[in-house]
Amino acid sequence: MSGFTLVEVMMAATFLVVGFIGMIEAVKLTTTMMDHGRRQHLASQIINDRIEKLRLLPWDVTTASPNELSLHDLPTASTAVAIDRTFWPNWNSASRYVAHSVVTYNGAYYRCTQAHLNQVPTNTSYWSVATAALTTDIVLNLGATYTLTRTLTNPDPVTNIREANFTVTWVVKTSRRDGGGSPLSFTYTLKNSAWFGKYGLHLSYQRS
């Protein structure tokens, strides 16, 4: 009866190991791409939410309610914009939170007041109820920290149109280390431009 030699068994084992390594790397790459796609989709939703809110604003102060902003009078300089509470992550008992981190918990919104681990948002020693989003909020969702900025052009004196440019930036920290031993992080951006007119002409386009 013929059998396998030791060399043949070792060669077969080597091929199996190489194959498994390739499969593991393929799974890791696919997972990374899926995570990036989810984060990019969230960034797009964050921008679209702000664009829709601008579309609800009146054009000028003569038609605005008391204390309400108008499209005509928004500042042109680059401005940090608060990310709506809709995009805040659910509280996670395994996450380590720092001051200004924001979460949702049992349908309510909370803001961290001091760093901690595994303190339920109803604990007022570490959390406060958040009634509105702030530009100082730390929005950590899908493993990335998100920020949003906006710039506006001056109202065109002829067409009565303003261009708004939104930029979402998200930073992803990885388990890899640089030469100094610090965790590597990667920064990504997504941009979207929209036009707002006095007579309701609203257009937008997106670019990464």
| Domain spans of the chain, in order of start | 6-88+136-207, 89-132
Separation CA 112–CA 135 (nearest Å): 14
Computed on alpha carbons and rounded to an integer, the radius of gyration of the chain in Å comes to 25
Distances (CA, A) of 23 to 11, 14, 27, 31, 183: 19, 14, 6, 12, 26
**Does 129 have pLDDT greater than 90?**
yes
pLDDT tens digits, one per residue of 155-195: 988 888 899 999 999 999 887 777 777 888 999 999 999 99
CA dihedral defined by 18, 24, 30, 36, rounded to 10 degrees?
-120
DSSP H stretches of helix in the chain: 6-55
Strand residues in 30-143 grouped as ranges (E) = 79-80, 96-97, 102-105, 108-112, 116-117, 127-129, 139-141
Sign of the C-alpha dihedral computed for residues 171, 167, 102 and 74 taken in this order: positive
Instruction: Pick the closest to residue 59 from 78, 73, 79 (CA basis).
Output: 73
Query: 89-132, what's its fold?
Result: Seminal Fluid Protein  PDC-109 (Domain B) (2.10.10)
Model pLDDT, residue 207: 58
pLDDT tens digits, one per residue of 31-49: 778 899 999 999 999 999 9
Residue reference for tokens 């199996």 = 16
Model pLDDT, residue 3: 61
Instruction: Pick the closest to residue 88 from 52, 56, 127, 36 (CA basis).
Output: 127
Q: Backbone dihedral region of 180: left (phi > 0), alpha (psi from -120 to 50 degrees) or beta?
A: alpha
Model pLDDT, residue 56: 86
Task: Output the average pLDDT for the chain.
Answer: 87
